[in-house]
Chains A and B, each alone.
Chain A
């Protein structure tokens, strides 16, 4: 029987319930799945960025011991991979599961080899001979637009997939005409390669007896996987397909999308009648996981005589890669342009985006997805402007902050978004206080005299979480709804199973969601089970991305909790022979106001709901509820970050001396978990600022195709982070939460770059494009010495 929980858990740093399995090596990731009769797949991939396939000879491969079958694009009869977000006049190139006719990026899968072991499959893949006629590559989103650039698709002129704008062009032009000061800065937001530590993997198992297909896949959204694969690609009823995303080792966006490999593995399993497993080698992840960012931008900001922003104008060429990944068009459009107002009052904005096809891996959402690109742009411009106007960068930000709005009235920006609630100055104040800003500036001054290059970087940012509502998303081109489901099933003992459409791949939902349930029902966490990641158990769900799990997924669960409590209250009132309005629910029991002796515990009520011996007349037995929660708006977390860096003048090496993060993510369910997400987010953003860069050579080869060449942040390169929060609840959802998964990444990139440029400001450096490697920084510093 359910017992009574002690205290409210909302806001407490409860240790994670998922950890015992991970720290003992008992996590169950996709590559840990082993089925009887299992076969193993390897893919033959294009070594060319762009080529015509003249012929494929698999005869030698078929002779390799252990090889069962080899299939090419001609054999695999499935639909192409769909794109789930449309924009006006968008040209969507067909994306076959295996290349047919032509290859368009290095690593594009051309054939699958299925064998009795992984090693045999790889031997087989080596033995497949493909005859290519190489064509020219085009890797840069700007030059792909040039007349004469190699064309990826005959019917897509100039490689332009879409042209998209937001804002008021004429008004913005007028603002620039009358500006007192204009700040201009071309910016490159370089290509990043996500690198979740667990490589992507899948196990497809078709049961010839039952005719159904089970797919274990590294997915952030198993239902989306099932819907797209069943309805659009494989052409089988959803009822015949089950998708399981078990423990998943990080996603950061890269595991939202439907990829070639799982599609072909499903088809092969169906064809062979045996389970097929594929696990990416890291080099395959580099080549075929969707990449992030890759913008080439020109940005200008106009100011009046008082240093107030009067307009912002942006032109961006965004690389989309060779094909459109699942949500590719969304990222450089609606997740980018609408963020350009930042935390500032900007009367007019105009933003143009050219979505460009390039002979590279597809580009899609990567932690932050559009929002880091926008924030980097705005925050770099603010620092450039402060420099140009001769004011302190914190002062310029303060001057332009949107004034506090916390009464439920949203702030309407000129680029579609209506911010839910915000109070920006206190976060900046707190961050500067923690950092000791004034003292830092003095120290910097002193250091300069001694030849030290110390820099202080500040960013005040906004973020948009939990994209919503569905109707608006649909009108903007979404091929999916953006609600979430949450089912609460109360068992006769009063214990509770929660089925959530959100998916945890590191976020700790088994803990945070249980905290919500424990609070609402007054039962201990041990009696609460959070189930996620299995389409056979969960009604439907949209999954986890865009920092939406707490604000949308959590709210859906909350709604269901209200519903089961509502029914429970009716049963309790019936049992206590009291009016519902006379009952209070406290510490897991209903009691009659003023008669504390008369009470019914949660467990007793649950049991009666199932015994149904004595429930109100006409009431159905049982106690469970399902909710589909569709928020009315995004939520808008914000904050202020400060970094202190020192550059070694002899080597150009950037050392981070301090990192202060003050975030406002609304109300916080589990501070320990939120801090952890902020830490990890900061590290990823620092990675972009200083080290990470997915480089394609002009010849179209992926130069940074392994962890030896692509510099992921390491423990000895990062400091301890100093974190704090302000709390401005979101009026959008019943929990008041805003979302915390991406804030760190969004804020830390410009914070670090601002700090490095600040350190070099004495040398006359006003901007460097990322990553700010030692070599680049040294050269910039050295140039000024000449």
Chain B
């Protein structure tokens, strides 16, 4: 049995017939071909698959594609606008917030929501909000710095 799904991903409409059990993260990676969203676990711990669904950060491995029917989705590929990096992306670059880069798309998408909730976050708030995103390379130090950099830059732009 296959069901139709239709959603907007990074402003583009996509529609496919999919198995009801297909995970949203696999839909995004395999059917739509956006491989920036990663899969790092099978128990919804790692956050490598984090995307924004209707503006909320969600783990795309935790949803079936059919549950996202009609949703508006943003992935890492849709974050830079007109070739200009989002301040969070820039922050990760400036502050060396990544090494192997595998956790990075999920971290950045989680940070989008984080900074919406706490535009001027404390270190503690940043660390607490990232509790659902694992990084094995950086020890988190520079990820915190990257998000602080982004917060400051976004505040200055306002």
Residue interface mask A241-258, B partner, CB < 8 A = 1:
000000111101000000
CB-contact partner of A24 in B80, B133, B134, B143, under 8 A: B80
Q: In the complex, are the beta carbons of A119 and B139 less than 8 A apart?
A: no
CB neighbours of A252 from chain B (8 A): 136
Tell me which of B19, B36, B101, B140 has the highest count of chain A C-beta atoms within 10 A of its own C-beta. B101
The stretch that binds B, out of A26-34, A306-314, A403-411, A445-453, is A26-34
CB neighbours of A250 from chain B (8 A): 99-100, 102, 136-137
Q: In the complex, are the beta carbons of B144 and A720 less than 8 A apart?
A: yes
CB neighbours of A721 from chain B (8 A): 139, 141
Instruction: Tell me the nearest residue of chain B to A247, going by C-beta.
Output: B101
- CB-contacts of A666-697 with B (<8 A): 672-673, 675-677, 679-684
Residue interface mask A196-215, B partner, CB < 8 A = 1:
11110000000000000000
B136 to chain A, nearest CB (A): 5
CB-contact partner of B104 in A22, A682, A706, under 8 A: A22
A646 to chain B, nearest CB (A): 16
CB-contact partner of B41 in A19, A34, A119, A707, under 8 A: A707
Residue interface mask B52-71, A partner, CB < 8 A = 1:
00000000000000000000
Q: In the complex, are the beta carbons of B36 and A25 less than 8 A apart?
A: yes
Selected A-B contacts with CB under 8 Å, 12 pairs: A20-B93, A24-B36, A24-B76, A32-B29, A197-B102, A198-B38, A507-B99, A679-B140, A680-B137, A683-B139, A707-B134, A716-B131
Q: How far is the CA of A162 from the CA of B141 in the complex (A)?
A: 42
Tell me which of B39, B137, B139 has the highest count of chain A C-beta atoms within 10 A of its own C-beta. B139
Q: Does A708 reach chain B (CB closer than 8 Å)? A: yes
Q: In the complex, are the beta carbons of B26 and A118 less than 8 A apart?
A: yes
Q: Does A712 reach chain B (CB closer than 8 Å)? A: yes
CB neighbours of B21 from chain A (8 A): 119
Q: How far is the CA of A778 from the CA of B56 in the complex (A)?
A: 39
Q: In the complex, are the beta carbons of A197 and B103 less than 8 A apart?
A: yes
Q: In the complex, are the beta carbons of B96 and A676 less than 8 A apart?
A: yes
Tell me which of A20, A24, A507, A721 has the highest count of chain B C-beta atoms within 10 A of its own C-beta. A24
- 8 extra interface residue pairs, beta carbon distance < 8 Å, beyond A675-B96, A680-B139: A27-B36, A29-B38, A249-B101, A676-B142, A679-B139, A680-B138, A715-B130, A715-B135
Q: In the complex, are the beta carbons of B22 and A506 less than 8 A apart?
A: no
B98 to chain A, nearest CB (A): 6
Q: Which 8 A-B pairs have the closest CB atoms?
A: A25-B36, A249-B102, A22-B101, A683-B139, A506-B100, A25-B76, A506-B99, A679-B139
Q: Does B48 reach chain A (CB closer than 8 Å)? A: yes
B29 to chain A, nearest CB (A): 8
Q: Does A779 reach chain B (CB closer than 8 Å)? A: no
Q: In the complex, are the beta carbons of A196 and B136 less than 8 A apart?
A: yes
Tell me which of B21, B131, B134 has the highest count of chain A C-beta atoms within 10 A of its own C-beta. B134
CB neighbours of A315 from chain B (8 A): none
CB-contact partner of B137 in A31, A506, A708, under 8 A: A506
Which residues of B pack against A, CB within 8 Å? Answer: 19, 21-22, 26, 29, 33-43, 45-46, 48, 75-77, 79-80, 85, 89, 92-94, 96, 98-105, 108, 123-124, 126-128, 130-131, 133-144
A320 to chain B, nearest CB (A): 24
CB-contact partner of B42 in A20, A197, A281, under 8 A: A281
Q: Does A240 reach chain B (CB closer than 8 Å)? A: no
Q: In the complex, are the beta carbons of A282 and B76 less than 8 A apart?
A: no
- On whether A679 and B138 interact (CB within 8 A), knowing A707-B46, A720-B144, the answer reads yes
Instruction: Tell me the nearest residue of chain B to A508, going by C-beta.
Output: B99
Q: In the complex, are the beta carbons of B89 and A679 less than 8 A apart?
A: no
CB neighbours of A198 from chain B (8 A): 38, 40, 100, 102
Instruction: Tell me the nearest residue of chain B to A721, going by C-beta.
Output: B141
Instruction: Tell me the nearest residue of chain A to B35, going by C-beta.
Output: A32
CB-contact partner of A707 in B43, B85, B144, under 8 A: B43
Q: How far is the CA of A672 from the CA of B93 in the complex (A)?
A: 12
Q: Does A18 reach chain B (CB closer than 8 Å)? A: yes
CB-contact partner of A197 in B46, B79, B141, B143, under 8 A: B46
CB neighbours of A506 from chain B (8 A): 99-101, 137
Q: In the complex, are the beta carbons of A15 and B93 less than 8 A apart?
A: yes
B59 to chain A, nearest CB (A): 12
Tell me which of B29, B137, B140 has the highest count of chain A C-beta atoms within 10 A of its own C-beta. B137
Interface size on A (CB < 8 Å)?
A: 60
Q: In the complex, are the beta carbons of A25 and B136 less than 8 A apart?
A: no
Q: Does A4 reach chain B (CB closer than 8 Å)? A: no
B61 to chain A, nearest CB (A): 10
CB neighbours of B108 from chain A (8 A): 23
Tell me which of A119, A672, A716 has the highest count of chain B C-beta atoms within 10 A of its own C-beta. A716
CB neighbours of B46 from chain A (8 A): 197, 282, 707
Instruction: Tell me the nearest residue of chain B to A507, going by C-beta.
Output: B99
Q: How far is the CA of A32 from the CA of B124 in the complex (A)?
A: 35
Q: Does A718 reach chain B (CB closer than 8 Å)? A: yes
Q: Does A147 reach chain B (CB closer than 8 Å)? A: no
- On whether A24 and B42 interact (CB within 8 A), knowing A680-B137, A716-B130, A720-B123, the answer reads no
Q: How far is the CA of A684 from the CA of B99 in the complex (A)?
A: 14
B151 to chain A, nearest CB (A): 15
B82 to chain A, nearest CB (A): 13
Q: Does A442 reach chain B (CB closer than 8 Å)? A: no
Q: In the complex, are the beta carbons of B139 and A718 less than 8 A apart?
A: yes
B155 to chain A, nearest CB (A): 20
Q: How far is the CA of A36 from the CA of B145 in the complex (A)?
A: 42
CB-contact partner of A672 in B76, B96, B131, under 8 A: B96
- On whether A718 and B140 interact (CB within 8 A), knowing A24-B76, A25-B75, A707-B41, the answer reads yes
Q: In the complex, are the beta carbons of B40 and A199 less than 8 A apart?
A: yes
CB neighbours of B134 from chain A (8 A): 197, 707, 712, 714
CB neighbours of A570 from chain B (8 A): none
- CB-contacts of A150-199 with B (<8 A): 195-199
CB neighbours of B142 from chain A (8 A): 676, 679
Q: In the complex, are the beta carbons of A684 and B36 less than 8 A apart?
A: no
Q: How far is the CA of A723 from the CA of B93 in the complex (A)?
A: 20
- On whether A248 and B100 interact (CB within 8 A), knowing A25-B105, A715-B126, A720-B123, the answer reads yes
Q: In the complex, are the beta carbons of A715 and B133 less than 8 A apart?
A: yes
Tell me which of B85, B99, B130 has the highest count of chain A C-beta atoms within 10 A of its own C-beta. B99
Q: How far is the CA of A23 from the CA of B94 in the complex (A)?
A: 11
Q: In the complex, are the beta carbons of A23 and B93 less than 8 A apart?
A: yes
CB neighbours of A507 from chain B (8 A): 99
CB neighbours of A24 from chain B (8 A): 36, 76-77, 79-80, 85, 89
Tell me which of B127, B136, B142 has the highest count of chain A C-beta atoms within 10 A of its own C-beta. B136
Q: How far is the CA of A195 from the CA of B41 in the complex (A)?
A: 10
CB neighbours of A744 from chain B (8 A): 139
Q: In the complex, are the beta carbons of B100 and A283 less than 8 A apart?
A: no
Q: How far is the CA of A683 from the CA of B138 in the complex (A)?
A: 8
Q: In the complex, are the beta carbons of B42 and A29 less than 8 A apart?
A: no
CB neighbours of B137 from chain A (8 A): 197, 250, 506, 676, 680
- On whether A706 and B42 interact (CB within 8 A), knowing A15-B94, A25-B76, the answer reads yes
Residue interface mask A692-727, B partner, CB < 8 A = 1:
000000000000001110001111101011000000
CB neighbours of A21 from chain B (8 A): 101
- CB-contacts of A100-128 with B (<8 A): 118-119
Q: In the complex, are the beta carbons of B45 and A708 less than 8 A apart?
A: yes
Q: Does A16 reach chain B (CB closer than 8 Å)? A: yes
CB neighbours of B41 from chain A (8 A): 282, 706-707
Q: In the complex, are the beta carbons of B139 and A197 less than 8 A apart?
A: no
Instruction: Tell me the nearest residue of chain A to B80, going by C-beta.
Output: A24
Q: How far is the CA of A173 from the CA of B153 in the complex (A)?
A: 65
Q: In the complex, are the beta carbons of B77 and A25 less than 8 A apart?
A: yes
Q: In the complex, are the beta carbons of B139 and A681 less than 8 A apart?
A: yes
Q: How far is the CA of A198 from the CA of B105 in the complex (A)?
A: 13
Q: How far is the CA of A675 from the CA of B89 in the complex (A)?
A: 20
Q: How far is the CA of A15 from the CA of B101 in the complex (A)?
A: 14
